[in-house]
Chains A and B, each alone.
Chain A
Amino acid sequence: GQNIDQPTEMTATEGAIVQINCTYQTSGFNGLFWYQQHAGEAPTFLSYNVLDGLEEKGRFSSFLSRSKGYSYLLLKELQMKDSASYLCAVTDSNYQLIWGAGTKLIIKP
């Protein structure tokens, strides 16, 4: 079956760095997305990785290792507004998005 695993919840301190991991097992791979979702709102796009390596975009970076079926989202200089759920999603061989359950990130002052 298809499976995406990410931690349920993480806590970090304002100004710090946090890494959210995602491992996946899917039938085929056509890219991995990270989305941010605040409570009661729709997801918003953060990053897309299709090749191995690190993609940096401001305070957020995303890494992919296809051979290991592994990705992480790195958030630097954490701000209170970063408190949200972070969703990992993989596009399979049929270009369907397979979603992880999301990681709820709690930022403390």
Chain B
Amino acid sequence: GAVVSQHPSWVICKSGTSVKIECRSLDFQATTMFWYRQFPKQSLMLMATSNEGSKATYEQGVEKDKFLINHASLTLSTLTVTSAHPEDSSFYICSARSGGSDYEQYFGPGTRLTVT
């Protein structure tokens, strides 16, 4: 099956610093990648959708200047949380879709971010 990796799996950073999370599709080309955030005991919340080579489309209420998304290749997307604050502490999950007739989203294992 299609495999998506995320790095790092967990990270602790100080308030005011920036953190970059990588999402890679290992055995397929991902035309579209999605970034989700999930707070404890809540469902997934879509943050943004990115297509390779174009700007990400952010969901309402998500600050694009704070959550920088880059989808520079068909196998890699990055999410950078800039000037992180404790309220940004969450579980960040990426997913990837190959496109065509395959509409399933393949999820990465997630990244646990803690901002102190």
Contact = CB atoms under 8 A, between A and B. Distances in A.
A44 B103 contact: no
What is the predominant secondary structure among interface residues of chain A facing chain B? loop
A45 B46 CA distance: 17
Indicate the size class of the contact surface on chain B. Answer: 10 to 19
B107 A44 contact: yes
A91 B43 contact: no
Interface residues of A, number: 20
Interface in A16-64: 30-31, 33, 35, 40-45, 48
A10 to B, nearest CB: 15
B62 to A, nearest CB: 14
A42 B108 contact: yes
Interface of A: 30-31, 33, 35, 40-45, 48, 87, 91, 95-97, 99-102
